[in-house]
Structure formats: structure tokens, C-alpha cells
Amino acid sequence: MNIDPIILTLIVFFPLAGALLLALLPDRGRTMQWAALAVTLVTLGLTLHLPFHYSYASPAGSFQFEQNVPWISAPAIRYHLGVDGLSMWLMVLTGLLAPLGVLISWRAVDSRKKLFYVLFLLQQVAMMGIFASLDMFLYYAFWEMSLVPMTLLIATFGRSEYRRRAAIKYFLYAFIPSALLLVAMLWLYAQTGTFDLPKLAALAAGNAISPNTTALWLASLGFLVAFSVKVPVFPLHGWLVDAIAEAPTAAVMVLAGKTALYSMMRFSLAIFPEQSHRVAPLMIALAAIGIVYGGLLALVQHDLKKLAAYSTLGQLSFIVLGIFSFTVAGLDGGIYQILNESLAGAAFFMLLGLLYERYGSYDMRQYGGLAQKLPWVVTMFVLVSLSIIGLPMLNSFVGEFLILSGSMQSGFAHHHLWTAVAATGVILSAAYMLRMIQRVFYCELGTKSQAVTAWDLDAREHLALWPMVALFLTMGVASPLWMRAIDSFGAAAASRLASVQCTAPTETPSLPTTSGGVH
């Protein structure tokens, strides 16, 4: 049976069916864990259908596995799903992180398991929907839907008494800009009469959305601000640290980055190419500052989760830098880095979670000398740190290298300066990660590490971590396997944006080959 035409629907709604199933099952023993694991594994299997049946030779800019049926005639809303080089691997990634999240929550979540796993699956539905939707209205439904399970996960399963505050903060930070996004979307519909993304992008390319440039500007800002808050881009990251500090491990793994970065590329760049051009220098500057800012703040934290939060801010800023360089290398590297950051970040949070399970603390001052006691844990920590640091032959290096080289090639003002500023991130990431390793694992035994007898990785944890490590290595040495699909999107997007650059009068194009030196 050829399931290509309905595969995306299956992927998006299978976790929903799973959530219903879990809701009906009795919450006894390990039933919830096993059922959630089974559901997420099947979903992962379904997502793996995509790369194996993807037609890599198809022309750039086209969508595959499309399903496009009218849903509502007025307003014209269609049930339009499809993937391209941008979204395909993101769906596989979302499929992969879910079973790992279940494995890592196995013991960590031991009360109200039904609620936890149902919300967890709903969150996955929303993310899959965001990546697959090509109709803006449908997209928006999933986008809003993603807020609720996450807010509830933080509020219910957060680690301290501040969890509700963190949840409200997260919700408001995400919800208010989303309202702006909705307004902008409705305005677009009023101008064009369609919610269909490919149509909107085609209109935008012909500069035919609206003659009212002010309104276009406002609409583009509505999109950009909503996405920037959700990434988050410095200085809109007010929710991030609290949310990461509170949220349970499985939720943190999918909390930040992916969906909003995807949306920037899918919507902001496609529908508002000219406005994106104007705002790009600002975004580049904010990204470069975010890298340094995140790195410096990570360097002075004692709380491991806060360290990880600021590290996440820095890593995500790299991706923003790549996207807004508008170069092939920057966009390709940015998309690839979404995968890498998600994997490495998720692995980092998994490790922090299992440390917390054993010792009940995220304060690194209470640790020390663990390398003597937990050789496997330290091995994994070092591997994950090396990935985050961007050691060549591991995944993140390819992404970061391409992003920074793309940023150096970009035509925007001061690109040398901002590339140099951003590149200091490689020093800072090494500094804060190695500081953490030293404090937690080396030197003398600390108070916690002395007081508590802990076990090294068990089979379940090995099972959750080794796929990550295997991916770090293969994605580091065999990037073209992923890049084949990604590059078709990146190259097309970059050339589309470059053609806009020629028409935009405010731009000061400077050919890369005529400038040199680092400011």
C-alpha cells in the first residue's frame, strides 16, 4: 500500500490517538510508561518513512508527501500538509526525541503519570502539526495548541515551588505575541484571500501582497516578534531560564528553539523577504550578542540547569545568526544546527536529569569527584559537552562552522565584526562546559557525591543515551546524508533572498570579494 499521501496525517495524529488510548488505560504499575513508549516508537517509525521515500532529486522549493484538501470554504481554509528539506528532518527529530523522553522519565515521573504522558503526547502532536502544516490557519491552530500542554507540564511537574510562576511566565510570553501573530495572519488573509503558504510566498515573491508598506512592516513584525520570543532571541528570553529550571526533563528537551526557528524560515523569510532584509542586520547583531551573553552568563552559574539554560540561549543564537545571514552556508548550517542543538541539548538535559535523580541537586558546588564513582556518566557528560563545544567530527561543529562561515559571507554591514563577536562563542562554550565538568566530576569528592551512594548508568539510560552519541558521531562525519535535503531548501531560500536584495533600495550591497580583513 502506498501510504505517501497520508503519511503526514498519520504522523501528526497517531500520537493523538495514543494520548486517547493512554487516557483510557488504567494508571497502574508501569502501564503508562510502556504504552507511551510503544506509541512514540510507532510514531518514530512513521517519521522514518519520510527520509526513505523522500525524492532528493526533486526541484527545490517543492513540497512532498503533500495532502491538500479543502476544509472550509469561507474563510478559505485548507487541510494542507507537506514537507520539504526544511521540515523533513525536524519531523524525524521530533519523532526521535519522544521515545527518548519517555525512557528518561521512566523513574523521574512517578505520580500522575497518566496526565504527564498524555500531555507529553499532545505536545508532540502540536509540534508535528507545526512542522507539517502549509496552511497558515492550520499552522496557527497547532502553534497555539503547543502552548497548553507545555504550560501544564511545567506547572504540574516542575521541580520547585516556583513552577507555577514559571508556567504563567512561559504562557504569557508565548501567548501575547501569538495574538499579534494572529492579527498579522488575519490581515494577510484580508489582503490576499488565502491562508495557503505556497500561494502567499509566490505573491510575496511578486511583491503583490499589499501596496501598503507600513502595514506589511507591521505584519512582518507581528510574525518576527512572535517567533523571536519563542526561540528565544536575546533580549526576549525572560521566560527561558525559569521555564528550563522548572520543567521536567522530557519537557525541556522539546521546550525551546525548533518550532520558532523553523517558523522564521518558513514564514518570515518566505512571506516578508524585503522586510526580513531590512531587519536582518538587527537580528544578526542580537544573535551575536546573544551568543556572547549566553556564554558569559553560563560561565557564572552554579545551578546546572541555569547553566544549561544560558548555554541553550547561546546555542540558539548561533542558529538565528545563520538564518539571518541569508547565505547558503548560513541557512544550511542553521537548519542542521537545529537538529544538532536539539540532540545535544536534549542529551545534556537528560544527563542533568539523571544526576538529579541520583543526588537530588542541581547545585554544582555540592558535587565534585564523581568521575571516580560514575565512569559511564562522566563519559557521557564529556561526549555531550564536546558536542556542545563543537569539537570537529562531532555534529555541532559542522553546523557552527557553516553558520559562522555563512555569516562571514553575508552582505550585511559589519558582518566581519559580528562574525568575530559570534566566534568568541567557541571560547566561551569551552570555558563553561569544562568548568562544569571540572566542578562536578574532577577534583575532590564534594558533599553530595560523598553522602549519596549512586549507581552508574543502568540499561534503560544506556538505551536512551547511545542513540544520541551514535548520532553525534555520524552527523559529524557524514553530514551530507542529512544535508542533501537541507541544502535544496537552503540554496533555494538564499537565492530567493538574494534576488530581493537587488530590488531593495535601502540595502548597501557589498560584494564579499571586495572587502577583507577583520574589523
Partner 1 sequence: MNSMPASYIWFIPLLPFAGFLINGTLGRRLPRVVVSSVALFFTAVPAALVAWLWATMCTASAPSSVDSVIRPYGYDWINITGLHVDFAFTVDHLTLIMLAVVTGVGFLIHIYSVGYMAHEEGYWRFFAYLNLFMFFMSVLVLAANFLLLFVGWEGVGLCSYLLIGFYFKKTSAAVAGKKAFIVNRVGDFGFLLAMFLLIVHFGSLSFKEVFATLAQNPEWQQQGAHFLPAIALLLLLGAAGKSAQIPLYIWLPDAMEGPTPVSALIHAATMVTAGVYMVARCHPLFDSSPLALTVVAVIGAATAIVAASIGMVQHDIKRVLAYSTISQLGYMFLACGMGAYAAGIFHLLTHAFFKALLFLAAGSVIHALSGEQDMRNMGGLWRKIPVTFWTMTAGVFAIAGIPPFAGFFSKDEILYRTFTSSNPLHIVLWLVGLLTAGLTSFYMYRLWFKTFFGEQRTKQSGDGYPHSVHESSWIMLLPLVILAVLSVIGGWIGIPAALGGNNGIEHFLDPVFANSAANEAVTASGHGLELVLALISVLVAVAGFYFAYLFYYEKPGTASALAQHNPATYKLVKNKYMVDELYSAFLITPLLMFTRGVLELMVDQGLVNGSGAVAGATTRGLAWITRKQISGNIRSYAGWLAIGAAAVITAMVFGDALKGLL
Q: List, in order, residues 6 or more apart from 507 with CB less than 8 Å away.
A: 277, 411, 501
Residue 366 DSSP class: G
CB of 137 to partner 1, least distance (A): 8
Q: How far apart are the first and last CA of the chain?
A: 60
Residue at 383: amino acid letter: L
Instruction: Give the separation between CA 152 and CA 492, rounded to whole angstroms.
Output: 39
Select 94 or 151, whichever has its Cβ closest to partner 1.
151
Instruction: Give the separation between CA 316 and CA 30, rounded to whole angstroms.
Output: 36
CB of 480 to partner 1, least distance (A): 4
Select 45 or 70, whichever has its Cβ closest to partner 1.
70
Helix (H, G, I), strand (E, B) or coil at 254: coil
CB-based contact 419:408 (threshold 8 Å): yes
CB of 510 to partner 1, least distance (A): 11
Select 405 or 450, whichever has its Cβ closest to partner 1.
405
Select 46 or 134, whichever has its Cβ closest to partner 1.
134
CB-based contact 345:385 (threshold 8 Å): no
Select 37 or 287, whichever has its Cβ closest to partner 1.
287
CB of 377 to partner 1, least distance (A): 14
User: Dihedrals φ, ψ of 83, to 5°?
Assistant: -130, 155
CB-based contact 507:501 (threshold 8 Å): yes
Instruction: Give the separation between CA 138 and CA 191, rounded to whole angstroms.
Output: 18
How far does Cα 4 stand from its chain's mean position?
26
The set of cell numbers assigned to 238 is 525572560
CB of 123 to partner 1, least distance (A): 13
CB of 213 to partner 1, least distance (A): 28
CB of 403 to partner 1, least distance (A): 10
> What residues are paired with 83 via a beta bridge?
64
The H or E element that residue 437 is part of is: helix 425-441
Helix (H, G, I), strand (E, B) or coil at 454: coil
CB-based contact 79:66 (threshold 8 Å): no
Instruction: Give the separation between CA 337 and CA 292, rounded to whole angstroms.
Output: 18
Select 140 or 227, whichever has its Cβ closest to partner 1.
140
Select 21 or 299, whichever has its Cβ closest to partner 1.
299
Select 24 or 74, whichever has its Cβ closest to partner 1.
74
CB of 150 to partner 1, least distance (A): 10
